[in-house]
Amino acid sequence: MIFDTHTHYDDRKFEKDRDSLLSSLKDYGVTRIVNVGANIETTKQTLALAAAYDFIYAAVGVHPSDVDCLDEESFAWLRKQTECSKVAAVGEIGLDYYWEKDPQKQQQQKYWFQRQLSLARETNLPVVIHSRDAAEETLNILKKESDLSGVIHCFSYSKELALEYVKMGYYIGVGGVITFKNARKLKEAVEAIPLERIVIETDCPYLAPEPYRGKRNASIYLSYVVDEIARLKHLTPTEVEEATFHNAERLYRSINTDSQRSEQ
């Protein structure tokens, strides 16, 4: 069984075949998904997907590049959504200085990042962290929020930083980039950290693995990610699938509880 811990099936690139694609995922062994909000509108769409499909859960939050959409009214709405039984996390939230160079705008990102971290604490939810070109500041902020747990989504930093996050109790999100020939840093990080702290993700429709690089990504391609992790860790793909599935259950703890309730 495969657990895709980070998707964006609300994206326009899935408009033509979203339902047929999602309906086919179990044929590829994909049995659970967390679809992740990036702003208020996509969070609404994410909640709708979670309501429509029993195997899809939602992360609600605002990506650092979209924090302009946040004010006290929209933040109050976001807080209200965390009460939904199918909300598994607050995310994706964080810092992105690759796209944003203006110090004032970076400060705005930090403000809403910290507000959303506080929301996760209030609601006892894990966080989905986006961090790009902001390694030191992201780490420093999360060190001060030591009672939180979550995943560093689409990890792109050094093995040393990966080990630091693992020590703090975070999971490392690994996707299609691990299959790229030039992904040396990520491969080294995956080799260095324990399998018990790795979860797999697509970030679809982005970051499709080889041999589909540059095309629309989807959960059906996660076997390529599993195979590369297995190669790096000297394990079988089945061992990686099973371990990352259980890791994702521990990460998104409310999903496991919700599934147990459904089975009773």
> What does the DSSP 8-state code read for residue 193?
S
pLDDT in tens, 199-248: 999 999 999 999 999 999 999 999 999 999 999 999 999 999 999 999 99
- The tens digit of pLDDT for each residue in 112-147 reads 999 999 999 999 999 999 999 999 999 999 999 989
- CA pair distance 124, 118, nearest whole angstrom: 10
Q: Which pTM was predicted?
A: 0.95
Cα–Cα dist 115/129, whole Å? 13
- As for how many domains the chain has, the answer is 1
- Residue 29 belongs to a domain with what CATH number? 3.20.20.140
Q: Can you tell me whether residue 100 is helix, strand or coil?
A: coil
Bridge partners of 132, per DSSP, are 96
Helices within the chain (DSSP H only): 18-24, 40-52, 72-81, 103-123, 135-144, 159-167, 184-192, 222-233, 237-251, 253-263
Per the structure block, which two tokens stand in for 20?
Answer: 């047929």
Rounded to whole angstroms, the Cα distance separating 224 from 229 reads 9
Residue 200 lies in domain? 2-263
